[in-house]
Structure 1
Amino acid sequence: MQPPGTKRRAGRATAASLGVIAGLVAATAAATAFVTAPTVNATPAAAHRLSWTSCDAPDYPGAECATLSLPVDWDRPDGPTFELALARRKATGPRERVGSLVFGPGGPGDSGVDRVVEGISRFSPEVRRRFDIVSFDPRGVGRSNPITCSADLLAQRPSPEIHDQAAFEATLDYNAELRADCRQRTGPLFDHLDTASTVRDLEAVRVALGEPKLTFHGSSYGTLLGAQYAETYPHHIRAMVLESVMDHSVATTRTFLRDQGAAAQDSFNEFVRWCKASTGCALHGRDVRTVWKGLLTRAERGELDNPKAPGTRISSIDLVNAIAFRAFYKADFAGLAKTIATMADTSPLPAAPTALSPLPPTAPIFCSDWNLPARDHREYTSLVRTLHRTAPDMPYLLPVRVVASCLGTPATNLQHRLKVDGAPKILLSNARHDPATGYPWAQSAARQLGQSGVLLTYQGHGHGSVTNGACMENTVDAYLTELKVPARGTACPAQSL
């Protein structure tokens, strides 16, 4: 890590194209602010109707692509513009077509265009039959004026293990230098990456599609987009599914990290419980926590081979996030157990330094949406301790990395409780054991939506739930196609692991 004020050489640039988890957060040096929702009732005027042409993707035939010219700053509609990239797959049953269903991708950093072009397996055959599936690369992502930063500078990101005030200040200096680099390379859009701006983009997409009302499915970070669209344009909604729900009312960094830690630790506890009960677990009969802690210790010493890149060492932070946490997304308990067992039974490598895998350069989107500050080293250390007490098996969980990466960055789309007036019924869907967007977040968002919010519970595991079994799929399908709203309290059984 460079000392404070040291200049770093800005090398080759990289554009944001990969998503990270929904639970990543932004931190600033200012006090947490709690504000009411913005009031933006004007409908953005579409510059033109969309002109669809075949996507340049010979390996994935059938998808169509288009672009939509939109303002960088919606408060200056006559100012600079950028091109929003979209893709669609037409309804397979055109005679029974309901309209367009717009998918809001997660991350932030996930490409909705790629999701559509490469396949749309998250939607059932019935939904694909009745709807054109449309998605887009949100502003700053993929093909939509991507956030572009020096790859060399990104690779120098300091560790989230900040042990003194000098390291804290060095992190602030680094973050400021990286922001300046990304702003210079990205252009004016860099200062308008917040979800409130993307809400206006989404409304422009609805207008350009010619849809009188929006049918929307948001996943993970896309649920923040959907919820804020419901605040801003409540009367423009036909149907809305929010899957794996974010709670943007969380007011403090400590509460946020405690919530995130609790969700991840719950998944780890479920994994341990499954291994004890299942003979299909490669760790069955062993003390899973003891084996896991042994791996963490070896990783801290630089003695653990990286199963995703044999011959290289994996850090303890990447062991937690890239190996365990990611496996919990798909509830791949069997695969995780096999990986842990293989690593535990492999001879230690000679001790050597390890390097963290880089974060994709989409953190500025988080930073613009979340004001979760740490004032100094002492407060930051206290926040990390809170996370570790909550999630003792998941030290330096990924949200802490993004807290550190956004220190000193001012947020613009501040946290607030949802205020939705006049929207139709909105269907929220969440797994009981979601490692990234914990079930209490979905409950909180449903309460904030009041009469408009109906929570559908999947009693199983994983991040994402709408196609987990016939009960979930049929309930969501009936809502989207026929506007049949399930009874409050509806829950669907877990599928076998």
Structure 2
Amino acid sequence: MPVATASTQVAATSTPGTGVSDASRPGGNPTARDTIDWKPCPQDTSADCGTLRLPVDWARPSGERFDLAVARRRATDPDRRVGVLLVNPGGPGASGVDFAVADAPAYFSTGVQERFDIIGFDPRGIGRSRPVVCSGELLDRRPSSYPRDQAAFDQLASFNRALQDDCRQHSGPIADHADTLAVVRDMEAIRRALGEERINYFGHSYGTLIGEQYAEQYGDRIRSMALTANIDHSIGLRDFLVSSATAAEDSFHEFVKWCESNPSCALHGRDVTAVWDGLLNRADRGEITDPENPGRLLDAHTITLSAFQTFYGPNRSGLASYVAALDAQRPARQQRTRPARPETSPGASPETPPETSPAERQRTKAEPFHAVFCQDWRFRPKDYQEFARLTEAELRAAPHMRGAPRVHDAVAGCVGRPDEVNNPQHRLRITEAPRILMLHSRHDPANHFSWASDVHRQTRGTTVLLPYEGAGHSVYGRSACTRGAVDAYLTELSIPSAGSGCPPAG
């Protein structure tokens, strides 16, 4: 059930539109629909941008509304147009508008661009869609996500509650209604506003959760759906942390194997694992400085998080050079400033949008991740002992990566928040959707391959899983095999044969 909102929330001036209330009820048939006010996008006039006014709380469709930002790139061959392709690049926190306007022309093949109007949108609470913003001063005081005792755990819980209240005060009630199930209802409203009987959808990483839950609620409104780097929304807290840590550790070992066999690796010929472990130990002793800011020390968590981010590519050459440079440092003589802290929100957070005032931009920062994540997952460690046991399980699963650096921070951000969530975990139940194509890297650093296989088992009659046997988080453009499989499916509804897969790219 939705979380109650504070009396200090920012009020929005809006006039309820017509025909969107039925989108809160799966299977509803509205008699009228809102429209999107398309205009050339300011950043690229070859694309169209607009907004769609929707309820903040779908349980109260006549209540306060917000403007959902939407972008469109029209099919480049109108005579062969199939329909619309809604896209979400993940996060939570990434901008679908930016993806459609700036990235889609290079990301998707010519064949996809010829046949589909590509539609991106900023999910509620993100980017230009009433972003969740919070006090920058408060965010700078975020405590460690690795509490060492009950008192530190209590401090973390108190901070998270204070941050939730602060974000609500600066953002309004959208901060309590940024969950994926609400985004699914927004996406159905987009379909109706576009006048399309059925949509096509491409979702990556966290965008797969949007696709999965849309297929649950509105399966008969789908023509095709391709999902890459899949999320399993049925998983419990311990499995979520341990499987995430296992994925990160697997990518580390893949990096070590690459260095051992590739002379171009800056660590080739050395014991890479020993160099890495020694580097983290030196960081624990305060001996490693930030190359970009020598006055700051790097802690081990910052280094592992930097490595983890390179696994997304993977950019193994860059990681090897980074590790070699840090390892070559002389011990720092003294700590002139506190250790550099990583961005603790696992998703990419866009900057505060330009429509906010300069004064507001100076004192607030876009911080949508936990507003989404903590309403999608009932992850609430109750005390220090429980959290310490979970952390120990992470470390056992990933001794060299020291757990799951990003996911640990994600869970820590939910400590102390209310137990009730808008969109709790459950096994996926899809009954009316057509065949859905899933792709997943065997060595994905963030989303363990078991997540995809478990989703496939839950929906075996509906989904087809195509493994990519290589590494990295992105899958679609990895090879001719992965791109060709998605393109043939989206354009011709051609499904890969059971048991097939794509080999690693060279």
Give TM-score, length-normalised by structure 2.
0.87
Paired letter, 1:191: D
Tell me by how many angstroms 1:377 deviates: 0.6
> Whose relative contact order is higher, 1 or 2, with alpha carbons under 8 Å and at least 6 apart?
1
2:501 to 483, 491, 494: 491
* SS of corresponding position for 1:451: coil
Paired letter, 1:48: D
2:305 matched to 1:297?
no
Distance 1:168 1:280 in 2: 44
Deviation digits for residues 96-136 of structure 1, max 9, x if unmatched?
11111000231100011111222213311211111111111
Deviation digits for residues 123-177 of structure 1, max 9, x if unmatched?
1121111111111100000000000100010111110121111111111111111
Runs of 4 or more, structure 1, over 6 Å off, are none
* SS of corresponding position for 2:489: helix
Tell me by how many angstroms 1:310 deviates: 5.1
- Aligned twin of 1:30: none
Q: Could you tell me whether the CA contact under 8 Å between 2:290 and 2:340 is conserved in 1?
A: no
Paired letter, 2:319: L
Distance 2:25 2:453 in 1: 25
Distance 1:421 1:186 in 2: 37
Change (3 A) 1:46 1:335: farther
Q: Could you tell me whether the CA contact under 8 Å between 1:47 and 1:68 is conserved in 2?
A: no
Deviation digits for residues 228-264 of structure 1, max 9, x if unmatched?
001101111100011100000102x211111101111
Distance 1:46 1:368 in 2: 31
Distance 1:308 1:133 in 2: 39
* Mapping 1:84-95, distance limit 5 Å: 84-95=68-79
2:37 to 43, 51, 56: 51
Task: Name stretches of at least 5 consecutive residues in structure 1 with no aligned partner.
Answer: 1-37
Tell me by how many angstroms 1:46 deviates: 7.0
Distance 1:421 1:491 in 2: 26
Q: Could you tell me whether the CA contact under 8 Å between 1:306 and 1:312 is conserved in 2?
A: yes
Q: Could you tell me whether the CA contact under 8 Å between 2:344 and 2:406 is conserved in 1?
A: no
What percent of counterpart residues are identical? 45
- Aligned twin of 2:135: 150
* SS of corresponding position for 1:313: strand
Tell me by how many angstroms 1:355 deviates: 3.6
> Could you tell which deviates more after superposition, 43-52 or 294-303?
43-52
Deviation digits for residues 355-382 of structure 1, max 9, x if unmatched?
4133342212100000122111111111
Tell me by how many angstroms 1:56 deviates: 1.1
Distance 1:373 1:406 in 2: 6
Q: Could you tell me whether the CA contact under 8 Å between 1:99 and 1:131 is conserved in 2?
A: yes
Distance 1:372 1:494 in 2: 35
Distance 1:45 1:68 in 2: 17
1:65 to 49, 59, 68: 49
* SS of corresponding position for 2:252: helix
Deviation digits for residues 16-50 of structure 1, max 9, x if unmatched?
xxxxxxxxxxxxxxxxxxxxxx9833257775222
* Mapping 1:277-426, distance limit 5 Å: 277-309=261-293, 311-321=295-305, 323-352=306-335, 353-360=338-345, 361=367, 362-395=369-402, 397-410=405-418, 411-426=421-436
Paired letter, 1:167: A
Change (3 A) 1:370 1:330: same
Distance 1:417 1:270 in 2: 31
1:218 to 203, 224, 238: 203
Distance 1:39 1:310 in 2: 56
* Mapping 1:35-184, distance limit 5 Å: 40-42=26-28, 47-57=33-43, 60-120=44-104, 121-184=106-169
Distance 1:220 1:346 in 2: 36
2:460 matched to 1:450?
yes
2:212 matched to 1:227?
yes
* SS of corresponding position for 1:132: strand
2:471 to 447, 461, 464: 461
1:194 to 164, 179, 194: 179
Q: Could you tell me whether the CA contact under 8 Å between 1:154 and 1:358 is conserved in 2?
A: no
2:189 to 204, 208, 214: 204
- Aligned twin of 2:448: 438
- Aligned twin of 2:241: 257
Deviation digits for residues 38-68 of structure 1, max 9, x if unmatched?
98332577752222111111xx442210100
Paired letter, 1:333: R
- Aligned twin of 2:8: none
Paired letter, 2:379: L
Distance 1:52 1:183 in 2: 30
Distance 1:327 1:100 in 2: 33
Distance 1:359 1:124 in 2: 34
* SS of corresponding position for 1:492: coil
- Aligned twin of 2:362: none
Q: Could you tell me whether the CA contact under 8 Å between 1:43 and 1:204 is conserved in 2?
A: no
Distance 2:257 2:427 in 1: 35
- Aligned twin of 2:358: none
Distance 1:66 1:186 in 2: 21
2:461 matched to 1:475?
no
Report the RMSD for the aligned CA atoms in angstroms. Answer: 1.7
Change (3 A) 1:331 1:376: same
Q: How many residues align?
A: 456
Paired letter, 2:109: S
Paired letter, 1:135: G
Distance 1:310 1:203 in 2: 50
